[in-house]
């Protein structure tokens, strides 16, 4: 099952790309709800390079690692990666209304398609807010 989520970010593609692929930025935006946070992130952005992020409930009750390996990287356009036996693709499409960021990933059997779509969309929406906030503070 392939699941797709997307958002439009009102920023230059270079800014969007950097925020999506920089560990310090990922630690800020990589959350689906205010009661969670990302406590650690690492990025080796190249084919064969590894990535990881540690997501935890702020109350300390639960946490998990999201990790994998990049399989294809086209700067400012595309990131493909494997995580476990699943695949993900992130596309960056520049347009008149901003940069459309589209994430397509293999779903997993534990949670419903709607739960997965909602969670991943919430993270992508958090990303969009993060970039807007960065631009506003510059």
pLDDT tens-digit map of 31-66: 989 999 999 999 999 999 999 999 999 999 999 999
The Cα-based distances of 115 to 6, 27, 44, 118, 122 in angstroms read: 15, 22, 29, 5, 11
Nearest to residue 136, comparing CAs of 15, 53, 42? 15
pTM of structure: 0.94
Check whether 138 has a pLDDT greater than 80.
no
Task: Please state which CATH number belongs to domain 2-32+73-137.
Answer: 3.30.530.20
Whole-angstrom Cα distance, residue 82 to residue 106?
A: 10
Per residue in 91-112, pLDDT (tens digit) is 999 998 899 999 999 999 999 9
Q: Percentage of the chain surpassing pLDDT 90?
A: 93
Q: Enter the DSSP assignment of 12.
A: -
- Token pair 């347009």 is found at 95
* Rounded Cα distance, 126 and 121, in Å: 9
């Amino acid at each position: 099952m392939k699941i797709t989520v997307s958002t439009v970010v009102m920023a230059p593609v270079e800014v969007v790309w950097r925020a999506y692929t920089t560990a310090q930025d990922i630690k800020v935006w990589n959350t689906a709800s205010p009661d969670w946070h990302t406590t650690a992130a690492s990025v080796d952005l190249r084919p064969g390079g590894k990535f990881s992020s540690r997501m935890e409930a702020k109350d300390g009750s639960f946490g998990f690692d999201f990790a994998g390996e990049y399989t294809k990287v086209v700067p400012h356009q595309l990131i493909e990666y494997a995580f476990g036996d699943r695949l993900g693709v992130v596309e960056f499409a520049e347009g008149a209304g901003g940069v459309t960021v589209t994430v397509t990933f293999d779903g997993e059997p534990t949670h419903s398609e709607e739960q997965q779509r909602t969670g991943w969309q919430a993270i992508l929406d958090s990303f969009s807010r993060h970039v807007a906030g960065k631009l506003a503070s510059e």
